[in-house]
Structure 1
Amino acid sequence: MKSQIRRSLVSGSLWALIGITDLQAANLVDFARLGNDLTPFGAEKAGNASGTIPAWSGGLTKAPAGWQPGHGDPYGSDKPLYSIDGKNIAEYQAQLPAGQIALMKAYPGYRMDVYPTHRSCTFPDEIGKRTKEFAAQSKIGSDGWHLEQAAGASIPFPIPQNGIEVMWNYKLRYMAMGRRAQYSLLLRESGGALAEFKQWSNEYYPYNDTAVKSPADLENIGSKQLYDVLSPSARAGEMYLVHDYLDKPQDSWIYFPGQRRVRRAPSFAYDNPITGTDSLYFVDQINMFSGALDRYDFKLVGKKEMVVPYNSYKLIDKANKYVDLIGQDYLNRDVQRYEKHRVWVVEATVKADKRHTFAKRVFFIDEDSWALLHVDMYDAKGNLWRVQEGSLWADPQIQSCTSYEYTSYDLIARRYIADGFTQEGEVLDLTAGVEGRVSDKLFNASELRRRGER
């Protein structure tokens, strides 16, 4: 029985079925597998039986000559193996999220070009060492969602037993200490004009510090973000500050230049629409999913081989122009790259005593990077409503895969949002936290006020 439990990578309901508590379950998980049949970060090291997913061999740890984020493609010589569209969708639908199937049925020109699979994602060696050292101490609080006793700079649940553990691996995946970029949110107006909202984004990840032994060391802070709006002119100078916690809903503040004051912003959370997006986009859709995990129950469906966006170097290339990328109905298909990978599938349903406009979400999370690659979102009647997909690419500078660009399609309104697009931005800096260009002193209400009064 014990060996059977150790091999299990399915829902935590298994423990309840055989009368084992969560603490006992953690003690039974075989963390010796890390670095053996599993990568140091919890993925299956072996490839799949058909050979379409190769074995993990350490990821992309050295950049090709002349490469930097937004310039160059380590896999640029690859050719598509095949394309999926509305004509051959039946052949591949078992490997596709429901949202991709819906988009192909809604838009005849929508297609997915599938390339050879490269398992480019990794993390620094120290993250693997700390993951193995501290994984047994991580646990979920008695409320069923908040994180306790997890050490920084590690994957808290490398061998997850339930959906909430997978979600915490996503939220705390290693992305160095911080990053900085100038990026845009884009959408096509009903008449065809391209609307652009440009901003500076500063993000700080104190939990990636090896000095952090538990959430208490950081007062349960998981990450901090500061957004500084540049355009349109009517909103220029607005600033948004967010503190994301491990044990409670996020805190937010807004600076309005016309009022020259900082206000707390409790509405900048959950399913509140983001200003300027025609209610097509909610706050907790930022970065694919953000904020507290308290409104949903998370069921671990299991791990599947699926066709997902991956190694998105062509998409993020700074030679691209927004006017060419943002089509009327969908993102330019020529710059999208898809590969077959194993992903964790987590189904989230709203708790009986909570509310959210999305009654159900289905998350698809990469096994190698713990990044969120795709989300299907459903209304209260069970209808698929919105479809969101992210980019993913390895950055050898920080020994980690990262995401910026992502899209959210509204199947009812038949419109979409493209957010985090950096192609025409001045700066894309993933080493900002390591080298001190982003630090903790930037992310407080006093600094927000000072910056606004300059």
Structure 2
Amino acid sequence: MKPVNTLLSSTARRLALAGMIALAPMVQASPTLSTIDQLGQSLTPIGAEREGNSAGTIPAWTGGLKPEQGAMQPDGNMANPFASDEVLFTITAENLEQYRHQLTPGQLAMFKRYPDSFKMNVFPTRRSASYPDSVYEATRRNAETTTLLDGGNGIAGLVNGVAFPEPENGLEVIWNHMLRYRGDSMDLTLSQVIAEANGDYREIIKQTIWNFFPSITDLEEESNLLFLYKSKVLEPVRMAGEVTLVHEPIDQVAEPRRAWKYLPGQRRVRRAPNVAYDNPATSSDNLKTSDNLDMFNGAPDKYEWTLKGKQEIFIPYNSYALYDKSRSNADIIHPGHINPELARYELHRVWVVEAALKDGQRHVYGKRTFYIDEDTWQASIIDLYDSRDQIWRVGMAHAIQLNPQQVPWLVTEVFYDLYSGRYITNGIANSYQKPLIFGQLASKSDYTPAAIRRWGR
């Protein structure tokens, strides 16, 4: 796999100094072995702690699900490998005090906002995440070669694995989330649902295709490109054929993201200069920002990133019930939040990273706190604060293991607006008897303005 480097001058190609890490008491002492020696030993091949916790409530990682377990069928259905698991206990507004230390402020705010309906069914912890061997091998190489560039806005020496399997600062953890393995490419049909406070909702169905740098056949050796992305609206009819195209750089300060829109009514492709930072995400009705896609994406330059350490938190995990093709959107979408009977929570160790807006920068979120799963580097929960330091929104990523390709991914991500009582989900694919397609190669010519015009027609 060829390395990816950002397009920066040689004088900028140096490791960015991230400052002192603010360590919480829960952080373990520094290991005596080097990171590369620990990978596959005391650490899993991507950098998580292999052993369980002392209480026995988090088990050891033993390799995750095998490719044949819970594999997707040709019709898009997927068997739940943990269907026989029973609920251990349910957290409600009445008993949450005894679990407060394992909940995020955003989760506590959800219980306060919806005391009569929001609850969390907690199941046995299943460390199901697994990856292809090539990802493990690449991660070992990254442990020796990958560095931050340009104050943390870029990466050098990366191959297709975890960039920083033993991170030393908050920026490295966030880059692990943004660069995590997602199958090299993905073609999927999914829906974006906007839910009103009373439970009414409207749905937009899209076909989305992603090609990450390893699957782009004509990528230059020194390319700054992370992925190419295009998404076409299939329904409702009034929006059908609208296409969004994105060229996503790694270092978006050196080279800003480029985006285009094709509107079939005008039969024209236009540049979309505002698909970044806190501009509203496409068709989101202002319920999430552009950098909320995939929980967080884009340039990290507006924030100071502080690594708080690790914590044991109840996070959405192994959400096979939400993927069940027999479920309709009406089964999932409830007033205020998704159906709590279909959400599964487990206790996992997460990296905690706080992002505080830099002086002189502007963004609708004054602060964000990320809770990032150690086994996947997926941002599982994000607490989003307004400029008054009040929790405004809560993002939750409902994780699943997509086999046989061994891709930890999401059933859906949900952003709850605690002020309005509305929320938005992205990724629900229950209504479509079509499997996700991985591993398709693409050329840059497939992601040009002319190409999306043809695709939109």
TM over 0.5: yes
The counterpart of 1:366, out of the listed 373, 398, 404, is 373
The corresponding residue for 1:197 is 204
Letter in 2 for 1:112: M
2:158 aligned with 1:150, yes or no?
Answer: yes
Distance 2:22 2:382 in 1: 28
Going from structure 1 to structure 2, the CA distance change for 1:208 and 1:306 (only over 3 Å counts) comes to farther
Distance 2:290 2:221 in 1: 28
Q: SS of the residue aligned with 1:333?
A: coil
Letter in 2 for 1:46: E
Letter in 2 for 1:222: L
The corresponding residue for 1:445 is 449
Deviation of the 1:207 alpha carbon? 4.0
Letter in 1 for 2:65: L
Letter in 1 for 2:45: P
**Superposed counterparts of 1:220-235, under 5 Å:** 220-235=224-239
Distance 2:239 2:18 in 1: 46
The counterpart of 1:85, out of the listed 80, 88, 92, is 92
Letter in 2 for 1:334: E
Q: Deviations over 1:325-367 (max 9, x none)?
A: 1012110011100000111111111122321101111111110
Q: SS of the residue aligned with 2:326?
A: coil
Contact 1:311 1:394 survives alignment (8 Å) = yes
The corresponding residue for 2:412 is 405
Deviation of the 1:293 alpha carbon? 1.7
Q: Specify every segment of 5 or more residues in structure 2 that has no aligned partner in the other structure, as ranges.
A: 1-16, 24-29
Letter in 1 for 2:120: M
Q: SS of the residue aligned with 1:405?
A: strand
Deviation of the 1:30 alpha carbon? 3.3
The counterpart of 2:310, out of the listed 303, 308, 328, is 303
**Superposed counterparts of 1:71-150, under 5 Å:** 71-107=78-114, 108-150=116-158
Contact 1:184 1:425 survives alignment (8 Å) = no
Distance 2:226 2:176 in 1: 12
The corresponding residue for 1:313 is 320
2:212 aligned with 1:237, yes or no?
Answer: no
The counterpart of 1:387, out of the listed 382, 394, 405, is 394
Letter in 1 for 2:66: T
Q: Deviations over 1:361-380 (max 9, x none)?
A: 11111101111111110011
TM-score (norm 2): 0.88
The root-mean-square deviation of aligned C-alpha atoms, in Å, is 2.4
Contact 2:70 2:81 survives alignment (8 Å) = no
Q: Deviations over 1:401-428 (max 9, x none)?
A: 1114111100111111111111113433
Q: Specify every segment of 5 or more residues in structure 1 that has no aligned partner in the other structure, as ranges.
A: 1-10, 18-24
More off after superposition, 281-290 vs 73-82 = 281-290
Q: Deviations over 1:292-324 (max 9, x none)?
A: 222222111111111000111111111110012
TM-score (norm 1): 0.88
The counterpart of 1:34, out of the listed 39, 45, 67, is 39
Distance 2:298 2:411 in 1: 17
Q: Tell me: higher relative CO, structure 1 or 2? Use CA pairs within 8 A at least 6 residues apart.
A: 2
Q: Deviations over 1:180-217 (max 9, x none)?
A: 111111123456532111111111112478x99xx972
Q: Identity, % of aligned pairs?
A: 37
Going from structure 1 to structure 2, the CA distance change for 1:428 and 1:99 (only over 3 Å counts) comes to farther
